[in-house]
Amino acid sequence: MTPKDIDSERLSAIIDKHKAERWSLIPLLQEIQEAFGYIPPESIETIAYALNIFPVEIQGVITFYAGFSLLPKGKYVLKVCRGTACHVKGGRSILRLIKSELGLEEGETGEDYQFTLETTACLGACALAPTMMINRSYFGKLSPPKVTAILAHHSKEKE
Amino acid sequence: MENITLFINGKGVSCPTGSSLLEAAELNGIKIPRLCYHPELKPLGGCRLCLVEDEKTGKILASCVMPASPNMSILTDTPRINRHRRNIVRLMMAEHPESCIVCNKGNRCQLRQIAAQLGLGQTGLYHMPNYKPIEQANPFIIRDLTKCVLCGKCIRADHELVQTGAIDYNFRGFKSRPLTLHDLPLEQSNCTFCGTCVSICPTGALAPKNLTHAGTPERESDSVCGFCGVGCSLTLGVIGKQIVETNPSHLPETLNGATLCVRGHFAHDFLNAEQRLTQPLMRAEDKLAPVSWNEAVNHVASRLLEIKKTFGPQSIGFLGSSKCTNEENYLFQKIARTVLETNNVDNGGYLSGRSCLDLIDSRTGGGWRVSPLSNLEKAESIVVIGADPGNSAPVVGYYIRRTAKKGIPMIVVDPRRTDLVPFSTVWLRILPERDLQLINCLAALLWKRFGHDTGFIDRFTENFTKYSEGLSSFNHQRLCVEAGVDMISLERVVELLKGKKIAFVIGHGILQQRNAARAADAILNLMLMTGSLGTDTGGLYLLARENNQAGALDMGSAPDLLPGRENLGDSRQRQRFERAWEVRLSPDQGLNAIRMITEAEKGTLKALYIMGENPLRSLPQPERVLKALQNLEFLVVQDILKTETSTVAHVVLPGASFSEKAGSYTNMEGRIQCVEPVVSPPLEARPDWMILDMVSEKMGRFTRYDSLEKIRAEIVRHIPEYQGLSNGKKTFWINNTSKKGLFQPDGQGEPISFFPVAFAEDRPHDDNYPFTAILGSTRFHLGSGTRTSHSKRIGNFGKNGHVEISPSDGLELNLVNGDRIRIQSRHGSIERELILEKGLAQGLVLAPIGFEENDAMKLLPLTPFEDRTSRGLKTCQVRIDKIQ
């Protein structure tokens, strides 16, 4: 998802939906993240005003959880497993290959906002090692040719 | 509250129900080590150093969060616990940088203290400091988060005490640290630099930026802040003869607790400014040259007597200071009234709402005056009107925000979006100086909706019927339109306030405005109608700009008041003082601060004795003031700093600051606080009361006092409100002498009268000056900024003095942020940089005072308040032009 001007109407609709609820901050942030792909930093103060808490407290919550991001992410978020089983099955080379294919380091997002590369401690699908996820889909028993094919399938040109 | 008993270290102890184990131990003299606990903050249970062992179950508990329960048996110092504590501290030390030798916190570092208590030297662990960049771009605070132990005290103080929300924990685990919003440097965040976090930080992670000294102060002494009328308790750190550090004092039950504001915390470096006056000066051939005290005092005495003889007592004026002590103010007015036989005595506090004070004092008999700020936290509702405490009296702002955060209705009535607005339940954005219309409308609506307190009205007041008839006659809609407020918001306010006591916080927006007295009348009526006056859950809080504004008036440093705020026109009181002072007192009131200047301009005032006041900076139309002062035959200036005014004086006498002399100050709450000198005055400078004592002796009217105690004894004899001054206490409250039933313990006494409703006079609109400028204070400068501008820290920071207008006005005038503009009134003009501010209504200009020699005063006319043409000191009509 390319970051564009934030749809402020959509943002206030999400805030309005949650602001009357008690303990509404995390569901609210999740919904914003879902809608925009990340939590736009400039929305923090609007949220804070609606919920009557300090903006910096919201930032504290966002940075605490790995699931929230203040930076815009690519259309496809790759989560490459770095768990023990995947490591044994060559997860390190898979990661190295993806890095060079995409030209991204861990935690980076491409300039065209197509891909974001992340690693994770374990995806819990060790039988399929080495594994990764793209958005919500699993890809298992990865090999270099398979990775190249998957990446090509998700690339801009293919769309 | 009930007590419970338990056993700590085998000893039976008791504590109130609800205490934590740590508090219970503390109460019984048992010290438990801790880092994250602070008595004013909610317990966190984060540092785990306060671990104790439950003897019965063997469980290990964090004592700061564990409530004490009956018959518990607790051990605070067992080998097992100490092993845990040592491991925690070892881990902290392993992460801590090895910069102790150069760390300003020195032996005050609590991590170091605890390590020493636990007998830890080497950690025996791999040293792994968590380096983060040092931030020291701002002139106040150095942040070295490498030394942070994540106790969260700074964050909790920020959220719980000062309620600013500048920082919070961000990230987690090893990366965890306190950050500002968007990780901006402090000076770009909403940090107010109150410094509360600096004083509360247990390590050297947060430190004050000292420009001249490094290291720990040699000694510390308690004092009272010399800036605004709140009068916070301070601890001053001293190296050699200089004050190098300021912290909130550790005394119990101070009004500010662990908080301070940027002025109190960081601006006291003005005390060491090069511009301090250090020896008496006398004008010889157009230059001020140093002379001996003897020569200076002789000259002052003989010249004043000479002028009195030639031109009469009315040709001499005494302009005193609301920053000097009670004792000095008493002496000052006594010299004026007895030695020079003139009532021409006033103080700078005249500019901060004399007319309002007089009115409220006379209607209540002064009974309102004891109004502890701690009651604000018990308020049922708060109305902040014409006040921006976040800038003018920040500690009052903290009280209001804390109360509002608890869900108590808080209404802000202000044309500006002050920093209280985000905390408010409703913000009534009125047009400038339409407070009277708004209060009238509010009162009328409350009366219509049965929001009055019949019991209170019947018991303590009179003439309600006439007032209520006036209320019924109002046209709400019209008043609402005049005030510039919409009816829906106002109805909401009425619903919120109905049936509640109201605490009114009133600032200079009311005190200095044209309709000041009438607005105060209306507020008082509304307070009586709702039963809010004289109660703990309501009450009246008038912000005072300077530390002893209240005391200066109490001491009779005013042209129409005798000590004890007794009216000069009251012959019984006059005779009382005539007998005591063995002198004839004229019943005619003297000249006030502004009229002294206008009379000097005309040439009828020949001599002026100015103590601790800088009229060339604080009064309107400085060029007129300068001419008037130059017109004088003789001008004496007694001050601590070389000021605009002292440079044109004939004689300059160097006085002492609040930290260099003993005396007492009366704050806005009615609390009288005595201070002792922390350091001696620089070089030949002397405490002001001593100087006055010398001058009066030379004039030969009364014998020297020679000691503060003698002056105090006289004050106690003449001013019943100040009885407490005789018992040697450091802090006490003024005695209530009001005869009004409301302020008597048994409720028996005179009723307080409602005044008939008053209407506002509108001023004609002038198309040549379409904008209304509001002159507001900023938190970096106090009043006209004479002292704060000599603070190097403040000077480095608050130089901009931007004016603000609304973006829509900016669009119309084709102005953008950063443009230089000229603001012109009928009386003068100033040039400033511009900021477009969304919170401001169209047609308004906000100009901060205190900057650039306080040149904003050029916009105002030099007219005394009581004059019918007076426009007050808060607003004026202006025009804006862009400077190309």
pLDDT in tens, B567-612: 999 999 999 999 999 999 999 999 999 999 999 999 999 999 999 9
DSSP B518-542: HHHHHHHHHHHHTT-TT-SSSEEEE
Please determine, for residue A1, whether its predicted confidence score (pLDDT) is greater than 60.
no
Residue A49 lies in a domain: yes
The string of pLDDT tens digits covering residues B17-76 is 999 999 999 999 999 999 999 999 999 999 999 999 999 999 999 999 999 999 999 999
Subunit contact B167:A56, Cβ cutoff 8 A: yes
Assess B572–A contact: CB distance below 8 Å, yes or no.
no
Q: What is the pLDDT of residue B121?
A: 86
CB-CB: which of B159, B169, B181 is closest to A55? B181
The string of pLDDT tens digits covering residues B719-732 is 999 999 988 889 99
CB pairs under 8 A between A and B: 36
CATH code assigned to B771-882: 2.40.40.20
CB-CB: which of B171, B181, B422 is closest to A56? B181
CATH top-level class for B283-350+548-731? Answer: alpha beta
Mean pLDDT of B654-669: 96
Subunit contact A60:B159, Cβ cutoff 8 A: no
Side-by-side strand order, sheet with B242-248: B219-224, B233-239, B242-248
Range of the domain at A113: 76-158
d(CA B177, nearest CA chain A) in Å = 10
Residue A1 lies in a domain: no
Using pLDDT thresholds of 50, 70 and 90, give the confidence band for residue B282: very high
- B354-542 CATH pick, 3.20.20.70, 3.40.228.10, 3.40.50.10860, 3.30.230.10: 3.40.228.10
Please determine, for residue B507, whether its predicted confidence score (pLDDT) is greater than 90.
yes
ipTM of the complex: 0.87
Contacts of B762 (CB under 8 A, 6+ apart): none
Helix (H, G, I), strand (E, B) or coil at B464: helix
The more confident residue out of B728 and B824 is: B824
Residue A86 counted as an annotated binding residue: yes
C-alpha B208, offset from chain centre: 21
Using pLDDT thresholds of 50, 70 and 90, give the confidence band for residue A4: low
Please determine, for residue B516, whether its predicted confidence score (pLDDT) is greater than 70.
yes
Q: What is the pLDDT of residue B759?
A: 82
Using pLDDT thresholds of 50, 70 and 90, give the confidence band for residue B865: confident
Contacts of A28 (CB under 8 A, 6+ apart): A14, A15, A17, A18, A19, A47, A51
Q: Indicate the length of chain B as a whole number.
A: 884
Chain A's closest residue to B173, CA to CA, is A64
CB-CB: which of A41, A45, A60 is closest to B168? A60
Residue A52 counted as an annotated binding residue: no
Same domain, A87 and A15: no
Same domain, A58 and A84: no
d(CA B549, nearest CA chain A) in Å = 35
Using pLDDT thresholds of 50, 70 and 90, give the confidence band for residue A134: very high
CATH top-level class for B129-272? Answer: alpha beta
Assess B839–A contact: CB distance below 8 Å, yes or no.
no
Same domain, A80 and A44: no
C-alpha B1, offset from chain centre: 34
Same domain, A86 and A150: yes
Residue A107 lies in a domain: yes
Same domain, A105 and A154: yes
Contacts of A80 (CB under 8 A, 6+ apart): A91, A94, A95, A98, A117, A118, A119, A120, A132
Q: B92 is written with which tokens?
A: 């902290």
Helices (H), B7-78: 21-27
CATH of the domain at A135: 3.40.30.10
Buried b or exposed e, range B727-741, using 16+ CB within 10 angstroms: eeeebbebbbbbebb
d(CA B170, nearest CA chain A) in Å = 4
Using pLDDT thresholds of 50, 70 and 90, give the confidence band for residue B758: confident
CATH 2.40.40.20 occupies which residues in chain B?
771-882
Same domain, A84 and A149: yes
d(CA A55, nearest CA chain B) in Å = 7
Residue B224's DSSP bridge partners are B233
Question: A43 to chain B: which residues are within 8 Å by CB?
Answer: none
Please determine, for residue B750, whether its predicted confidence score (pLDDT) is greater than 60.
yes
Number of separate domains in chain A: 2
Mean pLDDT of B455-482: 93
DSSP run (H or E) holding B437: helix B435-448
Please determine, for residue A41, whether its predicted confidence score (pLDDT) is greater than 70.
yes
Mean pLDDT of B752-780: 87
Assess B172–A contact: CB distance below 8 Å, yes or no.
yes
- pTM for this one? 0.94
Please determine, for residue A3, whether its predicted confidence score (pLDDT) is greater than 60.
no
Residue A121 lies in a domain: yes
B524-528, B758-762, B767-771: range with lowest mean pLDDT: B758-762
Residue A86 lies in a domain: yes
Question: B165 to chain A: which residues are within 8 Å by CB?
Answer: 54-57
d(CA B143, nearest CA chain A) in Å = 18
Interface with B, mutate which of A22, A44, A47, A56 (most B CBs under 10 A):
A56
d(CA B599, CA B824): 27
CATH 3.10.20.740 occupies which residues in chain B?
3-77
Question: A44 to chain B: which residues are within 8 Å by CB?
Answer: 181
Interface with A, mutate which of B150, B170, B402, B425 (most A CBs under 10 A):
B170
Residues on A contacting B at a C-beta cutoff of 8 Å: 41, 44-45, 49, 54-57, 59-60, 63-64
Residue B642, burial from CB neighbour count under 10 angstroms (0-12, 13-18, 19+): buried
Please determine, for residue A57, whether its predicted confidence score (pLDDT) is greater than 70.
yes
Using pLDDT thresholds of 50, 70 and 90, give the confidence band for residue A159: low
Q: What is the pLDDT of residue B798?
A: 60
Please determine, for residue A23, whether its predicted confidence score (pLDDT) is greater than 80.
no
CATH 3.30.70.20 occupies which residues in chain B?
129-272
Mean pLDDT of B361-369: 93
d(CA A66, nearest CA chain B) in Å = 9
CB-CB: which of A41, A49, A59 is closest to B168? A59
Assess B421–A contact: CB distance below 8 Å, yes or no.
no
Chain B's closest residue to A45, CA to CA, is B181
Q: Which residue has the tokens 């792994």?
A: B128
Same domain, A147 and A90: yes
d(CA A60, nearest CA chain B) in Å = 4
Tell me which architecture the domain covering B3-77 has in CATH. Roll (3.10)
* Contact call for residues B628 and B598 (beta carbons, < 8 A): yes
CB-CB: which of A49, A59, A64 is closest to B172? A64
Q: Average per-residue pLDDT in chain A?
A: 90
A144-153, B484-493, B759-768, B806-815: range with lowest mean pLDDT: B759-768
Helices (H), B279-393: 293-311, 326-334, 354-364, 389-392
CATH 3.40.228.10 occupies which residues in chain B?
354-542
Using pLDDT thresholds of 50, 70 and 90, give the confidence band for residue A158: low
Assess B406–A contact: CB distance below 8 Å, yes or no.
no
* Contact call for residues B408 and B402 (beta carbons, < 8 A): no
Residue A126 counted as an annotated binding residue: yes
* Contact call for residues B4 and B17 (beta carbons, < 8 A): yes
Q: Average per-residue pLDDT in chain B?
A: 93
Same domain, A59 and A114: no
CB-CB: which of B168, B171, B172 is closest to A54? B168
The string of pLDDT tens digits covering residues B151-172 is 999 999 999 999 999 999 999 8
DSSP run (H or E) holding B197: helix B196-200
Percentage of chain B modeled with pLDDT above 70: 99
Q: B323 is written with which tokens?
A: 């920053």
The string of pLDDT tens digits covering residues A118-127 is 999 999 999 9
d(CA A102, nearest CA chain B) in Å = 28
Please determine, for residue B668, whether its predicted confidence score (pLDDT) is greater than 60.
yes
Q: B533 is written with which tokens?
A: 């006056």
Subunit contact B159:A55, Cβ cutoff 8 A: no
CATH 3.40.50.740 occupies which residues in chain B?
283-350+548-731
What does R_g of chain A's alpha carbons equal in angstroms?
18
Chain A's closest residue to B164, CA to CA, is A54
Using pLDDT thresholds of 50, 70 and 90, give the confidence band for residue B400: very high
Subunit contact A59:B166, Cβ cutoff 8 A: no
Q: What is the pLDDT of residue B339?
A: 94
